[in-house]
Amino acid sequence: MSVVVVKRPPRAVPPGVPTGEVPLQTPPELPRTQTQSLMMTLLPMLGMASSAAFFFIPGSAPFMKVMGGMMIASTAVMAVAQAVRMRQGPSGQLSQARRDYFTYLAGVRKHVRRTARAQRAAQLHLHPAPGQLWSVVTEQRRLWERRVTDPDFAQVRIGLGQQQLATPLIAPTTAPLEELEPLTAASMRRFLAVHATLDGLPMAVRLRSFPHLTISGEAETGYDTARALLAQLATLHSPEDLVIAVAAGRGAAAVWEWTKWLPHTQLPGSLDGAGTRRLITDDLGELEELLAPQLQGRPRFSRNAQPLVDQPHVVVVLDRVSVPPDAVLTSPEGLQGVTLVEVAVGEPNTPEVPRGSLSIVVASDRLRMEAPGSAAYLGVPDRLSLVEAEALTRQLAPLRLAGRDDDEPLLANLDFTDLLGLGDAAAVDAARTWRPRSPHEQLRVPIGVGEDGEPVMLDLKEAALEGMGPHGLCVGATGSGKSELLRTLVLGLAVTHSSETLNFVLADFKGGATFAGFSALPHVAAVITNLADDLTLVDRMRDSITGELQRRQELLRAAGNYANIHDYEKARAAGAALEPLPSLILVIDEFSELLSAKPEFIDMFIQIGRIGRSLGVHLLLASQRLEEGRLRGLETYLSYRIGLRTFSSAESRAALGVPDAYHLPSVPGSGYLKSGTDTMVRFKAAYVSGPYGSGGMLAAEGPLPVERRPVPFTAAPVPVTYAAPQSGWSGGPAQGASADTVLDVVVRRLEGQGPPAHQVWLPPLDEPSTLDQLLPPLAPVEGRGLTAPEYPALGRLVVPAGLIDKPFEQRRDVLYRDFSGAAGHGLIVGGPQSGRSTLLRTLISAFALTHTPYEVQFYGLDFGGGGMAAVEGLPHVGGVASRLDGDRIRRTVAEVAGILSRREQLFRREKIDSIATYRKQRAAGRLPDKVWGPDQTWGDVFLVIDGWRAFTSEYEALEPVVTDIAARGLGFGVHVIVTASRYMELRPAVKDLLLGRLELRLGDPGDSELGRRAAVGVPVGAPGRGITAEHLHFLGALPRVDGSIDGSSPAADLAQGTAALVDAVAANWTGPSAPKVRMLPARLPAEQLPKGFEFPQRGIAIGIDENTLEPVFIDFETDPLLCVFGDSESGKTALLRLIARKLTERYTPDEALIVVGDYRRGLLGAVPDS
């Protein structure tokens, strides 16, 4: 059978149907009767007449008599008129109101009849009668007109019935019926009854809304209705968009034999002896195997889900076939985009209707629709006889949809390589395509073909250079081909321009699929995607682009105050030693949603529109929708407009000034190009995402040849008869096609061919760095241990803490913290799980790698969960006290306070003017030996408190001590570093002293004291991310020097990495470590105290002071009375024995007399008798 290729034209606009409502006016009401006697009506007039008699009194003037006569005459006229009016009554007014209402109804009737005619014509156009389908096939103007994106796709007519008027009639709110004029009220009710609905209109069913459709009832009528349903589907839907499959038992196979002619039942790629295999079988399991490629990956049916537009709709007909229990097609849930049509006619009982399904029960003149729990009469069923159905399908049998139509350029699929004349995509040669171009050809590229088949060029140069640019707009609805057009434009420019003359910034507010695969191009300065998931990236993109504008302005100014990029390039072409400054095209997809999320972004667009021309920056904004006023202030800068098919005529008018884009066919890539005031150019865009065909030869040895001879054409499979094998034949599969697209192949050909573009966008701060990545190479150094010898700030209290993001400057810098000046105290504020403790360990570890234990010493109080214990093994750490070790906490604070006090005395004694002088003298060893004491063991001392709130709540008495250390410490080399969850946890007295601040993610960004706007941009769930006092974002480094343990994220196995750092530093340090915190001994022998006579001026020693660890003396000569208080077994008696012992050592019997009163005899023997 020969094949006839059908060139499907764009779908014609169907006849319109009026919309709106028709509210009816209220009928007139009956007049309300008022009873009034004639005498009461005439009585006032009689009074007037009697009063006129006074004008005729003898002696009255003639003028008065004339006035009296006139009064009597007017009274008589009024009486007559009133009598006539009362006699006539309200009947005249009611008659007039009745005539007016009938006239009004007549006008409404004409309007309703026009609406009914238009509605009937539109419905019959959309759903032609089954007997008229042959004319649709013959004319081919409407053949297969419905596309998968059309709202009426898979809608099928099942009969004729009653429908509501397109403009519903709204009955008025009236008075009670007995108060209405009866004739008009009855006319209104009859008008509503007659015109509210229309009879004989097509009744359609949307198959996309039902996974299961059952046709039952009389056998002959049921089969006729099923044939009419399939005939409409096959006539109005192409085989690429809709597949029909039939599973009929052996008793029903002859009924469905006619479907073998349908192109929709053919299975591409599968052959039998009669040609293409038909999707007709008597085994449902076999049918599911044949449909497996069509059914694979389809989700379960959901009426609320979006229709599948990338896969054909599958209609499966079941008729008296056995259903396996594990059949997928008959599952109760159903599959999305699959409709099961079960024909169960001629059975005595109507089959049960599954939930969510639809059942149609037919008789010769009656059509009824049933759903679970409800039933409704629809009308008369459509019928198509077997002869008519076979005649129609024989018309359809040779027809095939054209893939490319050279005679209709606006409907053909246009390959990218054909548009640019590249030939094989794998043979693209950058040296040839990047040849020098004339000024006229710069930034000029074809994007598609016009109605005459000639390329349609988009020239991005400004109007002064005879271009259409520099800035433009592209609008296209879902499925219009907008993303493909953007890919075609970007790839076309990349193929024809080198990366030295043209760069791209590609941004997609949503998913990022539009620009997937472009990052490998040397032209790409940035690919920014998924902005909707993290709006902080939008602000970062704004800073990056604004920084690029600033960079270009400074470059033009530094090169010689060039007015614009064109003068710059002219000077460079003339031989000036200038670096290339390529044009930059910013393509921003879904900009409308971007502006909805960040309205202030319009200011940057306007800035680009204003200065972009002189800087060589071009802007192309693309979106699915365009709201009125969205581009306010930017319209004047958008010199060219591209309008693909839009959602509404208003959007088309906003983009192009005319509604034409709304009426474009549902062919992806169809659009209009409008430049300035020129007329619009209709075009069809090229396609770059299609599979790449390598053009390779098939295997030399193919399959066994098939014997060609006439065979019966049946719905059942026809066996293949092979010819006798030829000698030397061996079967082998054909070579498979490549899975790459044209875009992938071309990008690979251009990758690495030119100089890489200046990177406008650096990746966000997602993965933290490690300390070895922030420091120069680490190596053991004699006298300094494991350190970075090339680090310029060794021993200067300047350490790296992370990376600072500077998108405006398009770079990242190391975050250094300088503890040598006024910011010598540190404060780290962050909410739960924000990385406070980790950043604290990073600072300590950074000191350990850049300073010796002789230069810095750390003493920690860990109230944050035990994180500081990981660095306790560093030789720089004198000790870490946990919140449960109260004695060690008090001793640690006291130790640091003692260091501060002793150092203050040292400075005064040795006349040291500053801590800087002390550091220099100490490093040079110039401090005199006579002052070499405990204080000289320490360099810069750091008291680190992780968890300020817990510290102050549990050890409130120590807060003033730490505050005093912070107030006086910096001048003597004593520092305090604190972490807190909120700024409010710290009193102003101590908070104002902690100037070296780092702010991580807060629980409430509004609590930020560094910058609330910047704090909002710190992402949630990103430990280590924060802001500096300069409102710059940073990411803290990790305390490790091995990158990562297993090659994964550096944050993995952090504890193991920190332990390795601690071990490495400790192993490479051979000098003395930081002094440990001295603790009160658990047991103090009396022999270790000074003898009673050693310090006679101070008294006798009874113990050691917790703060100073020096002896505590009691002088009875100064304070003769002493009381000792304590619980049982607290040591009261032992203290008295010690006092007695020290007194006997201090005094002779002649100097002191000791009287002992001891009822428990615990002091027996403590005092000698003499």
Has residue 429 been placed in a domain? yes
Measured from the Cβ of residue 1149, the count of other Cβ atoms closer than 10 Å reads 11
Highest mean pLDDT among 12-26, 31-45, 1143-1157: 12-26
Has residue 134 been placed in a domain? no
Residues 511 and 576 in one domain: yes
Query: DSSP letters of 576-591?
Result: -------EEEEEEETH
Q: Could you say which of 288, 590, 895, 999 is catalytic?
A: 590
Beta-bridge partner residues of 831:
none
The secondary structure element, H or E, covering residue 343 is strand 338-345
**Amino acid 933: pLDDT:** 47
Residues 677 and 571 in one domain: yes
Which amino acid, one-letter code, is at 952? Answer: T
Q: How far apart are CA 903 and CA 935, in angstroms?
A: 6
Residues 573 and 457 in one domain: yes
Measured from the Cβ of residue 813, the count of other Cβ atoms closer than 10 Å reads 12
Q: Tokens 């509605």, residue?
A: 119
Q: Is 316 exposed, middle or buried (0-12, 13-18, 19+ CB in 10 A)?
A: buried
Taking alpha carbons only, the member of 255, 256, 228 closest to residue 367 is 228
Q: How far apart are CA 116 and CA 100, in angstroms?
A: 24
**Amino acid 932: pLDDT:** 41
**Tokens matching residue 474:** 């592209």
Which residue, of 1067, 1102, 1120, is where some domain finishes? Answer: 1067
Q: How far apart are CA 307 and CA 626, in angstroms?
A: 24
Q: How far apart are CA 630 and CA 648, in angstroms?
A: 16
Q: Is the pLDDT of residue 930 over 50?
A: no
Structurally, the chain folds into a number of domains equal to 5
Tell me the Ramachandran region of residue 453: left when phi exceeds 0, alpha when psi lies from -120 to 50, beta otherwise: left
Q: pLDDT tens digit string along 1140-1163? A: 887 877 777 877 777 788 777 777
* 417 phi and psi angles, rounded to 5 deg: -65, -35
**Amino acid 459: pLDDT:** 95
- Predicted structure pTM score: 0.61
User: Is the sign of the CA dihedral 87, 89, 93, 99 positive or negative?
Assistant: negative
Has residue 816 been placed in a domain? no
Beta-bridge partner residues of 381:
159
**Amino acid 788: pLDDT:** 95
**Amino acid 737: pLDDT:** 40
Q: Tokens 């040669």, residue?
A: 429
Taking alpha carbons only, the member of 1106, 1159, 1103 closest to residue 1131 is 1103
% of the chain surpassing 90 pLDDT? 53
C-alpha distances out from residue 926 to 820, 910, 922, 970, Å = 21, 12, 6, 22
Residues 835 and 883 in one domain: yes
Q: pLDDT tens digit string along 194-236? A: 999 999 999 999 999 999 999 999 999 999 999 999 999 999 9
Beta-bridge partner residues of 682:
672
**Amino acid 32: pLDDT:** 66
* 209 phi and psi angles, rounded to 5 deg: -90, -5
454 classed as catalytic: no
- pLDDT: is 365 or 497 the higher one? 497
Rounded mean pLDDT, 158-177: 87
Taking alpha carbons only, the member of 396, 395, 398, 385 closest to residue 130 is 385
The secondary structure element, H or E, covering residue 33 is none
**Amino acid 866: pLDDT:** 86
**Amino acid 33: pLDDT:** 58
Cβ-contact 415, 687 below 8 angstroms: yes
C-alpha distances out from residue 887 to 870, 877, 890, 1082, Å = 21, 18, 5, 11
Per-residue DSSP letter, 57: S
**Amino acid 736: pLDDT:** 39
Q: What is the CATH number of the domain that holds 542?
A: 3.40.50.300
**SS3 of 551, please?**
helix
Which residue, of 655, 687, 719, is where some domain finishes? Answer: 687
Query: Where is average pLDDT lowest: 42-56, 86-100, 828-842?
Result: 42-56
Has residue 518 been placed in a domain? yes
Residues 1035 and 951 in one domain: yes
* Average pLDDT taken over every residue of the chain: 86
Of the CA atoms within 13 Å of residue 1020, those in its CB half-sphere come to 7
Instruction: Place 925 in a pLDDT band, splitting at 50, 70 and 90.
Output: confident
Query: Where is average pLDDT lowest: 324-333, 343-352, 425-434, 1029-1038?
Result: 343-352
Residues 1049 and 1126 in one domain: no
Has residue 706 been placed in a domain? no
Question: 1112: which residues sit within 8 A by CB, 6+ positions away?
Answer: 1101, 1102, 1103, 1104, 1105
Of the CA atoms within 13 Å of residue 1040, those in its CB half-sphere come to 21
Q: How far apart are CA 1091 and CA 181, in angstroms?
A: 129
Question: 573: which residues sit within 8 A by CB, 6+ positions away?
Answer: none
Q: Is the pLDDT of residue 835 over 90?
A: yes
Residues 532 and 632 in one domain: yes
Residues 307 and 442 in one domain: no
Instruction: Place 52 in a pLDDT band, splitting at 50, 70 and 90.
Output: low
Q: Tokens 């010796």, residue?
A: 852
Residues 836 and 920 in one domain: yes
CA 624 from chain center: how many Å? 15
Instruction: Place 699 in a pLDDT band, splitting at 50, 70 and 90.
Output: very low
Q: Is the pLDDT of residue 709 over 70?
A: no
Taking alpha carbons only, the member of 758, 786, 324 closest to residue 551 is 758
Residues 972 and 1090 in one domain: no
Cβ-contact 255, 383 below 8 angstroms: no
Beta-bridge partner residues of 555:
none
Cβ-contact 675, 402 below 8 angstroms: no
Rounded mean pLDDT, 731-756: 75
Q: How far apart are CA 962 and CA 889, in angstroms?
A: 12
**Amino acid 732: pLDDT:** 37
Q: How far apart are CA 755 and CA 981, in angstroms?
A: 48
Residues 880 and 1006 in one domain: yes
Q: Is 242 exposed, middle or buried (0-12, 13-18, 19+ CB in 10 A)?
A: buried
Q: pLDDT tens digit string along 465-485? A: 989 989 999 999 998 999 999
Has residue 649 been placed in a domain? yes
**Tokens matching residue 857:** 């010493």
Q: Is the pLDDT of residue 352 over 80?
A: no
Instruction: Place 41 in a pLDDT band, splitting at 50, 70 and 90.
Output: low
**Amino acid 696: pLDDT:** 35
Q: How far apart are CA 852 and CA 872, in angstroms?
A: 15
Q: Is the pLDDT of residue 739 over 80?
A: no
Residue 254 is part of which domain span?
A: 206-401
Which residue, of 51, 71, 89, is where some domain finishes? Answer: 89
Q: pLDDT tens digit string along 650-688? A: 899 989 989 999 999 888 999 999 997 767 899 999 999
Rounded mean pLDDT, 860-878: 93
Taking alpha carbons only, the member of 77, 79, 80 closest to residue 46 is 79
CA 131 from chain center: how many Å? 51
Q: How far apart are CA 202 and CA 380, in angstroms?
A: 10
Question: 876: which residues sit within 8 A by CB, 6+ positions away?
Answer: 844, 847, 848, 851, 852, 853, 856, 857, 858, 1065, 1073, 1074
Q: pLDDT tens digit string along 113-138? A: 999 999 999 999 999 999 999 999 99
Taking alpha carbons only, the member of 634, 686, 684, 683 closest to residue 655 is 634
**Amino acid 727: pLDDT:** 43
Q: Which residues of 17-40 are buried (b: 16+ CB within 10 A; e: fewer)?
A: ebeeebebebbbbeeeeeeeeeee
Question: 137: which residues sit within 8 A by CB, 6+ positions away?
Answer: 143, 235, 392, 395, 396, 399
Of the CA atoms within 13 Å of residue 620, those in its CB half-sphere come to 29
Q: Is the pLDDT of residue 707 over 70?
A: no
Residues 626 and 652 in one domain: yes
Q: How far apart are CA 513 and CA 525, in angstroms?
A: 18
Q: How far apart are CA 201 and CA 198, in angstroms?
A: 7
The secondary structure element, H or E, covering residue 217 is strand 212-217
Has residue 985 been placed in a domain? yes
Has residue 186 been placed in a domain? no
**Amino acid 369: pLDDT:** 84
